[in-house]
Amino acid sequence: MMMVELTSVPSAALPVDALADHLRLSSGFADDGSQDAQLEGCLRSAMAAIEARIGKALIARQFSLTLSGWQSADAQVFPVAPVSSVESVKLINQAGDETIADPNSYVLRADPQRPRIEATASSFVQPPRGGSIEIELTAGYSTDWTGVPHDLHHAWLALAAEFYERVEPGPMPLPMAVLALIEPYRQIRLGGALA
């Protein structure tokens, strides 16, 4: 399984002004925007760290999921949530020829923890031997930061502020306050599989 981000989060969707206010950067000074690039970098890093931890996309964007075969004959769970739409399902043979699956042959189950597609018939059409399946989907809470759940919203700003204020290079564990806010969104794994 391989998942690739097809579209990136636009700069306008990031809460640069909210982070500046959170850090009180504009107190007593005119905002000349000189810190915007650094703030945006901190927000993108914090977003990536939180998304990796909880398996959720904060800002909506398109992804491509490539599989060598279906998880089961009639359902495929997505490794990211929440999923709002499935744009296409393609079966690809060894030569790279694509066959687009009939959109009526599957349905999206938009579960907040384990979204999946399910076959509307008894099972999915299998990819050709040596072939693959490519699913294009849109996942994320909102097209901008105002639609992100409030506790994740707060964790995002808090972690971005930590990145902004950090002086020492190298890896940094997530702060306990951030962990406390994001843990309810994390999927529990039992025996190596998602519960």
pLDDT (0 to 100) of residue 194: 53
pLDDT (0 to 100) of residue 35: 82
How many residues appear in the chain?
Answer: 195
HSE, side-chain direction, 13 A CA sphere, residue 21: 5
pLDDT (0 to 100) of residue 28: 52
pLDDT (0 to 100) of residue 105: 95
pLDDT (0 to 100) of residue 31: 57
CA distance 66 to 29: 49
Backbone angles phi, psi at 20, to 5 degrees: -60, -40
pLDDT (0 to 100) of residue 171: 79
Q: What is the mean pLDDT of each run of 10 residues along the chain (195 residues)?
A: 94 93 68 80 96 96 96 94 97 94 95 94 90 97 94 95 83 91 83 51
pLDDT (0 to 100) of residue 166: 82
Contact 133, 92 (CB under 8 A): yes
Contact 57, 139 (CB under 8 A): yes
